[in-house]
Amino acid sequence: MSTLFSASGVPELVFGRGVFEKLARQVLPFGTRVLLIGDAYLKDHPSLLKEVSDMLQVQGIAVSHISALGKKTSQASQAIMDEVDLSQIDCVISLGGGRAIDTGKLVARDCPHIAVPTTAGTGAPMNGVVFGGDGAIEETSRTSLLPTIVCADPSFLDEMDRDDFAARSLAVLMLLVEAYVSPKASVLSDALVWSGLESFVRGFVKGIEGDQKGRDEVFYASLMAGVGSGQAGFGLSHRLGVSVEQETELTYAQSCATICAEISHAQIEMLAEFLPDHSAMDKYALVGELLAERPFEDREEAYASLVGTLRRWVARLELPKLPLSEKKIEEITQLIIADWDEEVLPVRLSHDVMIDALLRRHIQV
């Protein structure tokens, strides 16, 4: 952790059950002409589109709807900007998952942007990072891309499928952990990330069982993951998850979740061998204790508990394995190593160690 640091901004956050129903209150100070950007989530929930349109129109707000299509956010945003006269728009609302929100960031550069997340994902509304350029892990990060307001209503998670919730939750956990152990972490990012980790622990198991309060906790954790990643960077599980998603039918959440234990194990082992005094070692131990909800006499016990807990969750939740050829795993590994970021990643994994970690969650295709 760096005690000498600079911090980027975060959006205004309006959080809680029922805040979505008051969306018009957030919009009206900006004007009455809204561009609503959706993604696959809105396409799969057509009644939601009518609900939000009616809710805004009854307050005198004109709504134009458009979808963020395609796999690349940059292409989706450019297509929208080519089609829509943004000079006639007072406010952009992005409603859905990371694709809608990241597209909204790029489209709304010159007007207010209200992000309405509907999934517990990367915490995209809470930072100025956009993924989905011409490369699988290309990213753009600018304070100017921060949403103006985040309207975060956890009730969107109530009907989420158990398996989807579980995978997304573990992806959130890895974003939090890897922001926490990042060399770029600061006292500020650590405080917010730790609050997210505590919230995850309170909510994960209950949320899998469908408990509303548990899912509220994980939703909050996902937003703090977005803050942490925006401040301290995105870790190795995220980078691999993005690459795997590009090459398979797995979702980003499934890709991150299925490798979470093996990548954590690999990083802890490499740190122990080459950088035993790195601050990340103490932090991994603290996370191990937090997940176990008990202290350990030494760090080795905490590491074993952390990795063991992750492996049990991956097994019990029957997360899908990586449907990749060994050649493709080799290509992904080379891509990650070539783009290694020592400011964010606490220890450089060797080629063989990374290959071995991925093969542990590999299914032959």
How does the average pLDDT of the chain come out, rounded?
Answer: 94
Q: Which alpha helices (H) appear in 248-298, and where do they start and end?
A: 252-274, 279-292
Residues 250-271 have a mean pLDDT of: 97
Cα 240 to Cα 259: distance, rounded to the nearest angstrom: 9
Q: Which residue has the tokens 């490369």?
A: 135
Higher pLDDT, residue 9 or 317: 317
Query: Would strands 149-152 and 12-15 be described as parallel, antiparallel, or unpaired?
Result: parallel
Percent of the chain surpassing pLDDT 90: 88
CA atoms within 13 A on the CB side of 267: 26
In this prediction, residue 5 carries a pLDDT of: 74
First vs last Cα of the chain: how many Å apart? Answer: 41
Q: How confident is the model at residue 39 (pLDDT cuts 50, 70, 90)?
A: very high
How many degrees, rounded to 5, is the angle at CA 184 between CA 183 and CA 185?
A: 90
Using the predicted structure, report yes or no on whether residue 136 has a pLDDT greater than 70.
Answer: no
Could you give the domains of the chain? 12-157 (3.40.50.1970), 162-359 (1.20.1090.10)
The pLDDT of 53-77, averaged and rounded, is: 91
Least confident of 75-79, 82-86, 283-287, 346-350: 75-79
pLDDT digits 0-9 by tens, 147-167: 999 999 999 999 999 999 999
Return the DSSP state at 18. Answer: T
HSE at residue 148, side-chain half, CA atoms within 13 A, is 17
At residue 131 the predicted structure's pLDDT band, cuts being 50, 70 and 90, is: confident
Q: Are 188 and 179 in contact (CB under 8 A)?
A: no
Could you give the strand order of the β-sheet that contains 149-152, starting from the edge strand earlier in sequence? 12-15, 149-152, 113-117, 91-96, 33-38, 62-67
- Residues 185 and 195 sit within 8 Å (Cβ to Cβ): no
- The pTM of this model reads 0.95
Identify which has the larger pLDDT, 113 or 109: 113
Q: What is the pLDDT of residues 280-328, one digit of tens each?
A: 999 999 999 999 999 999 999 999 999 999 999 999 999 999 999 999 9
pLDDT, tens digit (0-9, with 9 covering 90-100), for 210-236: 999 999 999 999 999 999 999 999 999
Burial zone of 210 (CB within 10 Å; 0-12 exposed, 13-18 middle, 19+ buried): middle
pLDDT of 338 reads: 94
